A and B are shown apart, each in its own frame.
Chain A
Amino acid sequence: MPKILLVDDSKTTRAIIAKALRAYECEILEAPNGADALTLAESALPDFILLDVTMPVMDGIETLRRLKATDAVKEIPVMMLTANSSPEEIALITELGARDYMTKAYKADTVVDRVKQILPLELKS
């Protein structure tokens, strides 16, 4: 069963996206900041990471930079979630190796659809 790591300091955002993902056969892991996400990614080796940009402790940009510099996790596809759709930020996210990004506000179902374009997910029977 694919594992998806959901990283966002907002419990609300994690709850909204996790609810949509629960319709599919997948294990959902959650982290409230980048530092916890790095630890969890290295121990659980998720198949996909949804990563918020603006977070305390360690933001999403720095987390993405460290993920891509760590052999054990650098191949895990990352989709960034951002409230800031400036061309500069999008360019940086892409340059650092994110596979995709979504700008808030978004429907949780749309996030899941975008995840499915990279990670095949099966509906729960």
Chain B
Amino acid sequence: MEAILSAMPQVAGTSVKDAITSAVTDAFDTMVSLPIVAREKIEPGTSTSAFIGPERLVGTVGFAGHLQGLLCLHFSPPFAQEITALMLGMEPGDVEEFEDINDAIGELTNIIAGDLKTRFSRPGNPCSLSIPSITRGTRVEIESVSGAERHCFFFVAGNNPLLVELYIRESAA
């Protein structure tokens, strides 16, 4: 049992899988009112293209300080539009402005990053979050060159996939 637990990736003694699952499902429940289910962990080295279509919208928030890394949420553009509509109380077809989608997806990413930061925080080790950013593109793949460990999970809300990638490392200082 001990060997199994030690093999589960952890940050600051907290299971990465449990933290991401709780942060994502809580945020979708509270901010979007949309049930979302964790499906599977995506193994290191696996391309995200098998899980989500080529057209992407990616919300990103960075961690700096004791925790260093990046949280990336990958959405299909229609799913991002649907989430924006739910958060703003509109019909999906009425969401036309990139600015509104950026704001909604940025806020959702920010909330999940803030939750993860709280779950992974250790007393006396401050950590800051960057402002959220949004990337649009085709076949977007995020790679880290800083030695951070990649954790990637696949979620589903109805028929809509969501990919959550977390690149994280704890500062030695």
Contacts and interface: CB of A to CB of B under 8 A. Distances in A.
Interface stretch (A7-15, A67-75, A91-99): A7-15
A39 interface: no
A83 B85 CA distance: 22
Would you call the interface of chain B mostly helix, strand, loop, or mixed?
Answer: helix
A105 B30 contact: yes
B27 A84 contact: no
B129 A16 contact: no
Contacts, number: 53
Nearest to B115: A105
Interface stretch (B2-10, B40-48, B74-82, B104-112): B104-112
Contact of A103 (B27, B107, B114, B126): B114
A11 B114 contact: no
Contacts of A105: 26-27, 30-31, 111-112, 114-115
Contact of A83 (B30, B87, B103, B114): B114
12 contacts: A11-B103, A12-B87, A12-B104, A15-B87, A15-B89, A83-B110, A83-B129, A84-B128, A88-B126, A104-B110, A105-B114, A105-B115
Interface of B: 26-27, 30-31, 84, 87-89, 100, 103-104, 106-107, 110-115, 117-118, 121, 123, 126-129, 131
Interface of A: 10-13, 15-16, 19, 54, 83-88, 103-107
